[in-house]
Structure 1
Amino acid sequence: MAPASFSSDLIRSCADMVILTVLRSRPMHGYDVLQSMGEFGDGQFRFKQGTLYPLLYRLEREGWIKSKWQVPETGKKRKVYSITAEGRRVLKQRTQQWERFSTSVNAILWEGKHE
């Protein structure tokens, strides 16, 4: 049986962190970002293009990623996204916050199981 989908609120709350993590490995165009995200978390981070691109544009406005146009040998130009130094700093900070947050939530949930 397939795992239940995460709520859209939960996915939205960590979307920036997931995108920055995916881009940490290498620059990618939007389709590659979508594919890579779909490979993580049992496929729970499958976004539609209409959801992903506004997030990418916002991350670029924040200065956490940058983009450049690339023309591959096939001839069709595509925008390639990469994480910036500021994006790496934010990702490190958010990852540390997430670790503390999830540890705290797990502690509460664990205590609640014993009542």
Structure 2
Amino acid sequence: MPQTSFSSDLMRSCADLVILTLLNKTPMHGYDILVSMGDMGDGQFRFKQGTLYPLLYRLERAGWIEAQWQEPPEGKKRKVYHITKDGRRVLKERTQQWHRFTGSVNAILQECSHG
């Protein structure tokens, strides 16, 4: 039976990378970030709102994202998050690290599965 979600440790370890990647594509409301994570991650990458918003506030305090209030013609005001210049720099660094890290882990897994 396939696993339907990742461990919370694994999710936390790459949450910043995922959020910065999504916001690099387009500014989003918090709810849109949650939906996009699930849609783009084949339903495997899901956070609860109570988990996402503290992450967004932390990224905002770090200066990697900024939030602006938007008031649509219909509906209530909502925060829209977008990535900053520092956030793009961090995203580039973290993406490079992620590729090196997953490449190393995959190499170990492959080497050890043949033994």
What TM-score does the superposition give when structure 1 sets the normalisation length?
0.95
The alpha carbon displacement at 1:2 in A equals: 4.6
In structure 1, list runs of 5 or more residues that go unmatched: none
Q: Is the 8 A contact 2:60 2:66 kept in 1?
A: yes
1:21 maps to: 21
Deviations 1:20-63 (A, max 9, x none): 01111111111111111111222122111100000000000000
Aligned-residue Cα RMSD (Å) equals 1.1
Matches within 5 A, 1:57-72: 57-72=57-72
- SS of match in other structure, 2:42: helix
- Percent of residue pairs identical: 73
- SS of match in other structure, 1:28: coil
In structure 2, list runs of 5 or more residues that go unmatched: none
Q: Is the 8 A contact 2:5 2:45 kept in 1?
A: no
2:37 maps to: 37
Distance 2:4 2:21 in 1: 23
Distance 1:114 1:36 in 2: 37
Q: Give the counterpart letter for 1:85 in structure 2.
A: K
Deviations 1:77-114 (A, max 9, x none): 10100000110110010000010001111111011011
The alpha carbon displacement at 1:74 in A equals: 1.1
Distance 2:96 2:34 in 1: 24
Number of aligned residue pairs: 115
- SS of match in other structure, 2:68: strand
Q: Give the counterpart letter for 1:64 in structure 2.
A: W
1:10 maps to: 10
Distance 2:4 2:69 in 1: 38
